[in-house]
Structure 1
Amino acid sequence: MAVVVVTDSSASLPAELIGELGIRVVPLHVLVGDREIREGIDEVAIDYAAETVTTSAPSPGELRDAYVEALTRSGGDGVVAVHLSRQLSATWEAGRQAVRDMDATESVLLVDSLGAGLATGFPVLAAARCAAAGGALTEVYEAAVRAASSSHTFFVVNRTEQLRRGGRLSTAAGFFGSELVSKPVLQLVQGRLELRDKVRTRSKAFAKLVAAAAEAAGAGTAAIGVQHLDAAEAAESVTTQLRERIPQAGEILTAEFGPALAVHLGFGAVGVLVLPGGCG
């Protein structure tokens, strides 16, 4: 058999890659009033700007069930579970509780991706490809950790109120001034969202986004991820610019943000992930 990789639905990976690599995905939850929606499973229209819409992590029980299933499928080779940043979600902590409940600390290894969206997805890919190549449990774990610690993630959002309301943006970023005349460029630093820059127009914000990604890629090969929420044209433009600025880029994935991230990022958000060296 082979090591099985588990992640959460924030990873935003294409269904064909998930199926091809046998990745187990556990849905995050979006709470709309008194309804609980499982991301990627329950289809329902969501008003992402509504103050009554929130998100929640999978329960330890949900994660335990996924880990048990994956461990069985691995034939005892083990499980590597890669989840979105513990600074942004309670998912990793729920996973740790699940592993304790299973008494499986040596056979189910947890990785904090230090990111969200494709910033989680790329470490998942690195781990799953290592597993597919016959990697042992520790090798698969180390592949995920290396990818997580090497990645760079940048976002442009229209407004920061949803991030601040949800507690995902440091209060140290409170010097934005009027958001009517500035567009923030954010970055993930050790799993936390921080302000990188602010400019007056979206076009300048996207230029900063592309420049930051090109700098992060360096001179070697790199995997690139582009995500957006209701901003397909902007994401396509950013992708085209990235291809020009980073001609050595290998794999380029594009995806929409899922509902659990969309609640916090808001319409018009565009994110770029750069992983120097690629996903294995």
Structure 2
Amino acid sequence: MSTSTPGTSAGTGPVVVVTDSTASLPEQAVVEHGVVVVPLQVVIGAQVLDEGAEGATPDRVAQALREYTPVSTSRPSPAVMLEAYERAHAEGASAVVSVHLSGEMSGTFESAQLAAREAPLPVTCVDTRQVGIGTGYAALAAARVAAAGGTAEEAARAARDRAAATASLFYVDTLEYLRRGGRIGAAAALLGGALAVKPLLRIEDGRVASLERVRTSARALARLEELAVEAAGEEQVDVYVAHLANPERAGALADHLRERLADNLGGRELWCGELGAVLGAHVGPGMIAVCVAPLHP
């Protein structure tokens, strides 16, 4: 889903891509593609922190969750989004494509829409219906089209198409954190199941949905591997393995996928890293996710 707000007439400068911190893009990719990242906030106890290395980090969130310290998250305000658009305009941008996590999971897309109405340049807002790096890969697709001279609408279309083709699969040790944050969606039916069952989940039309139930965490990770290979099929893909406080298992899964998907990766790096603080607050320690994103043509 996307919306376009006319703003003032477009200039001749570049199309700039804006996204939010939940997109989980490595800093190198942000710099290389000129993507602007607007942070969400994490509230830990009485502290309100921007998501990022200087504020709310995954380690800090994981520790707070283990200690039962209240943790919540909040979207960037429309005023903060507007600042990003105004800055892009001041630096010579002709238009902005603002690419964000699912509107079903956060009010960030709504903030972008509200800010776009006041922006001094045209802003096209894209609801990727994804979370995490699924949003990030969509933003990169838009940035590549913009860098090649594409219009804002072409860049937005690239983001939407890539997000729709992306598979986001994950395993959680417990559904408790998703339940607390109200993000459990269609997977709520699993709450009444046996405590020993380990749920495999996916993002489906912008919401968390149940995929499978297995008996052990080892079996869950083995299934994640198989499902990722199935999702890749014969296509050229980018792959990201994310975790929260579970580096050893995530690293092992990444190693297996690098080997099994070598042809699909075509020499591109398989990213493996810790989930951001905002998403981590909703899934809890132990989570492992795999995102498989077919390359945009």
Could you report, residue by residue, the CA deviation over 1:68-121 in whole angstroms, capped at 9, with x for unpaired residues?
112333x242110111111111100111111123375xx110111211111111
Matches within 5 A, 1:6-17: 6-17=18-29
Distance 1:258 1:172, change over 3 A: closer
Q: What SS does the corresponding residue of 2:105 show, helix, strand or coil?
A: coil
Return closer, same or farther for 1:179/1:160 CA change in 2, 3 Å cut-off: farther
CA–CA separation in structure 1 for the residues paired with 2:171 and 2:14: 39
Instruction: Determine the C-alpha separation between the residues in 2 that align with 1:177 and 1:80.
Output: 42
User: Per the alignment, in what secondary structure is the counterpart of residue 234 of structure 2?
Assistant: coil
CA distance in 2 between counterparts of 1:166 and 1:204 reads 26
| Secondary structure of the corresponding residue to residue 174 of structure 1 | helix
In structure 1, which of residues 79, 95, 111 is the aligned counterpart of residue 126 of structure 2? 111
Q: What's the counterpart of residue 266 of structure 1?
A: 284
Residue of 71, 76, 86 corresponding to 2:103:
86
In percent, how many aligned pairs have the same letter? Answer: 39
Shift of residue 48, structure 1, vs aligned partner: 2.6
Q: Do structure 1's residue 226 and structure 2's residue 241 form an aligned pair? A: yes
Q: Aligned residue for 1:166?
A: 181
Q: Give the structure 1 partner of residue 224 of structure 2.
A: 209
Aligned to 2:33, which of 4, 16, 21? 21
* Separation in 2, partners of 1:175, 1:27: 32
Alpha-carbon distance, 1:13 to partner:
0.8
Q: Does 1:238 align with 2:250?
A: no
Determine helix, strand or coil for the equivalent of 2:262: coil
Task: State the TM-score, normalized to the length of structure 1.
Answer: 0.93
In structure 2, relative to structure 1, the CA distance for the partners of 1:141 and 1:171 (3 Å cut) is: closer
Distance 1:94 1:137 in 2: 19
Contact 1:153 1:273 in 2 (8 A): yes
Letter paired with 1:19: V
Match of 1:256 among 274, 278, 297: 274
- In the TM superposition, residue 241 of structure 1 has moved relative to its aligned partner by 1.9
Q: Secondary structure at the match of 1:48?
A: helix
Letter in 2 for 1:22: G
1:126-173 deviations in Å (ceiling 9; x for gaps): 111222222221221111111111111000010011101111112553
C-alpha separation in 1, matches of 2:69 and 2:118: 35
Quick check: 257-266 or 35-44, which moved more? 35-44
**Structure 1 residues without counterparts, runs of 5 or longer:** none
Letter in 2 for 1:29: Q
Q: For residue 161 of structure 2, what is the aligned residue in structure 1?
A: 146
Q: Which residue of 2 aligns with 1:196?
A: 211
User: 2:27, 2:186 → 1: CA distance?
Assistant: 36
Counterpart code for 1:200: R
2 CA distance for matches of 1:236 and 1:279? 26
Report the CA distance shift for 1:192/1:20 in structure 2 as closer, same or farther (over 3 A): same
Query: Given the alignment, which residue of 232, 247, 250 partners 2:262?
Result: 247
Q: Please give the alpha-carbon distance, in whole angstroms, between the structure 2 residues aligned to 1:263 and 1:240.
A: 26
Please give the secondary structure, in 2, of the residue aligned with 1:147. helix
CA distance in 2, matches of 1:204, 1:215: 16
Structure 1 residues 219, 165: closer, same or farther in 2, change over 3 A?
same
Letter aligned with residue 188 of structure 1: I
Shift of 1:217: 1.0
With over 3 angstroms needed to count, the CA separation of the structure-2 counterparts of 1:133 and 1:228, relative to structure 1, is same
Question: Quick one: structure 1 residues 136 and 182, their matched pair in 2 at CA, closer, same or farther if it must change by over 3 Å?
Answer: same
Return the offset for 1:43: 5.2
TM-score with structure 2 length normalisation?
0.88
Letter in 2 for 1:160: L
- Distance in 1 of aligned mates of 2:188 and 2:259: 32
Mapped to 2, the partners of 1:149 and 1:235 lie a distance apart of 25
Work out the CA distance in 1 between the residues paired with 2:153 and 2:244: 36
Opposite residue 134 of structure 1, the aligned amino acid is G
Structure 2, unpaired ranges of 5+? 1-12
The RMSD of aligned alpha carbons is 1.8
